[in-house]
Structure 1
């Protein structure tokens, strides 16, 4: 991973170079301020006016590469000594989500978010495990899963709305509509992390604060995902997840804003164990190799049409990169990510 100092410098250079020409400019508030929505990677960030609908689409992509233990890279020999005969090389995870919102009142907005998941992992054989003194690459393996994921149902409740402060809470459920019985080519259950859903009913909650001044906006959000069941139909449950994020955005033009964001997440390992046939040959086959602490930064743009056919149509793009991580056990390290949101309210 690149150094923390280098990564923290990028957001500063990005915002300075883009915002400087407009720093002293002033204009009336546009009808659809682009900075009024959070960066594309933040969900549950805004409410709507009574009777308003919003239809949206979200896409997320994360890439993983290189095996780490804790905060240090782990070599092939270390994996062999730990008893593994397969080494993950890379993984790509993609999410496609519909974002449907309806405002029952000015203080309550309902949300429905069905999703589709796609995951692909490459692995390589590294020999016979314990005591192996060198790598014995005997062939690459690649496998994937895809299908309907879990479905989110939530309500966003306004707590405060003044000139300088907006505060709302989100309370929702993640319904276990995604499969947890996906199997590999050999008929065994695939890695825990490549199942399409959690398999449990999960409680989703968040608290979101936003504010702004002229062209500048900022916000922060605390969130949690808590499994409501001890195990799913396959005998396990993912760990609790807690998150915190903060962002700021600057309106460069009536139709464009740029943003920088920091995020932190803490996730527990897996509870329980597969009840069906499964492997133990690679790190993602074992429950202790999940969860940890992660921090990342994101750079983004929000675009919104101000007139004509696309008036009110919003497009958000955000690129994410890991700042630091402390992984439980052996895991593929998170690298870059991309978030996209497209929405229209009426």
Structure 2
């Protein structure tokens, strides 16, 4: 997996140093497993007047082209009429996690984010394939516009603020060893969806920084504890509330379910295992300005799919001293099963990091 960039490593190292300085105290005030693994959000609420500030970092790397659940090479894409193919992609997401509880049952959350994405491209040799097949291009004559003529390599990167999520978490059940939290959220379209290539054409749909639409983000989360064991499950959705954004399209609705178990091995440390299922529709609509059709990432049908991921994580918390309540969670995620819509880059691995402090 590609190395994470300096900003994520620096924050993780700083949090680790703080944990090391305070973790010698063993007061049973805080449990490391009282929060879900680092890749799960809106999993816990707070007591009246409590504030939590947090930092979340996600890094994901992608390589290898897939059609459905099978890997496909450049010749297969050329035969399908594509002159360019993505060879690798990375995505970084940095989020602030700010929570405040006006009552014992209600917690409000604000989560702004910053995105960085880069993609490498290479020619598929479509021109040579077309000549071998008698000169047919296979798709419209605009193939390759803005990406050269199907030969060589190129890369591009985008960065900027993404969408901003506002959520209200409500404690539906607050038994001694069980909780049930319902969340109603909305994602505001603060991320750009009109980023352009140097030639003035839109970048790939997946390289835009936000959805461009107002989106509902409901979820329901159950957690339970018994001794050193902790478990939980969450069902969630992202539902587009508009038919199209200002650039003419809308990302597909997304539905997910995840379940995890954690074992507390020390007063201040727990290990977790998690499975995560997602199902996302393809993009609807179409760019309303000049755009390419030369690679799979330029076509709306090549987005979404059904996936099953597995994850292993570690949660730590400072249990006493000046930094009591400071938490650090790290989780590694890998893809177990995939069924991509159309042609897409496959997920290699991703890493989630979460640092938080409540007061």
Fold equivalence (TM over 0.5): yes
Could you tell me how far apart the structure 1 residues matched to 2:97 and 2:250 are? 26
Deviation at 1:262, TM superposition (A): 0.4
Match of 1:80 in 2: 78
Q: Do residues 212 (structure 1) and 225 (structure 2) align?
A: yes
Structure 1 residue runs of 5 or longer lacking an equivalent are 1-27
CA apart distance, 1:309: 2.3
- Unaligned residue ranges in structure 2 (runs of 5+): 1-25, 134-148
Equivalent residue, structure 2, for 1:131? 130
> In structure 1, what is the Cα distance between the partners aligned to 2:243 and 2:199?
28
Look up the match of 1:8. Answer: none
Is it true that 1:229 corresponds to 2:242 in the alignment? yes
- What are the Cα deviations for residues 234-287 of structure 1, in whole angstroms up to 9, with x where unaligned? 000000000000001111111111000000000000000000111000000000
What CA deviation, in whole Å up to 9, does each residue of 1:281-334 have, x standing for no partner?
Answer: 000000000000000110000011112222110000000000000000000001
Aligned match of 1:189: 202
Q: Compute the displacement of 1:202 (Å).
A: 0.2
Aligned residues: 318
Aligned to 2:253: 240
Pairwise mapping of residues 315-330 of structure 1 onto structure 2 (< 5 A)?
315-330=328-343
Q: Report the Cα offset of residue 143 of structure 1.
A: 0.3
> Match for residue 264 of structure 1?
277
1:169-206 CA distance string (max 9 Å, x none) = 00010000000001123221000000000000000000
| Residue 54 in structure 1 maps to residue 52 in structure 2 | yes
Aligned to 1:150: 163
Hey, what's the Cα distance between the residues in 1 that align with 2:197 and 2:257? 35
- Equivalent in 270, 279, 300 of residue 287 of structure 1: 300
Give, in angstroms, the shift of residue 165 of structure 1.
2.1
Q: In the aligned structure 1, how far is the partner of 2:317 from the partner of 2:237? A: 30
Deviates more, 1:204-213 or 1:180-189: 180-189
Displacement after TM superposition at 1:163 (Å): 2.3
Q: Distance in 2 between the 1:274 and 1:99 partners?
A: 32
Is the Cα contact below 8 Å between 2:58 and 2:353 reproduced in 1?
A: yes
Question: What's the CA shift for 1:29?
Answer: 8.1
Please report how far the alpha carbon of residue 342 of structure 1 lies from its aligned counterpart in structure 2 after TM superposition: 0.4
SS for the counterpart of 1:104 is coil
TM-score by length of 1: 0.90
- Residue in 1 that maps onto 2:290: 277
| RMSD of equivalent CA atoms | 1.5
Distance 2:279 2:151 in 1: 36
Q: Which residue of 1 aligns with 2:16?
A: none
- Contact kept, 8 Å, 2:126 with 2:150, in 1: the verdict is no
Q: Deviations over 1:53-106 (max 9, x none)?
A: 000000001111000000001121110111100010000011000000000111
Please point out which of 17, 32, 35 is paired with 2:33: 35
**Cα separation, 2, equivalents of 1:223 and 1:250:** 24
CA contact (8 A) 1:81 1:132 kept: no
C-alpha distance in 2 between matches for 1:232 and 1:115:
19
Deviation at 1:138, TM superposition (A): 3.1
The residue number in structure 2 matching 1:333 is: 346
Aligned residue number for residue 253 of structure 1: 266
Q: Which moved more, 1:202-211 or 1:182-191?
A: 182-191
1:77–1:132 Cα contact (<8 Å) kept: no
Q: Give yes or no for contact 2:201–2:292 (8 Å, CA) kept in 1.
A: yes
* Residue 177 (structure 2) aligned to one of 164, 170, 179: 164
For residues 309 and 30 of structure 1, the distance between their equivalents in structure 2, rounded to whole angstroms, comes to 15
The alignment's TM-score, normalised by the length of structure 2, stands at: 0.86
SS in 2 for 1:309: coil
**1:122 and 2:120 matched:** yes
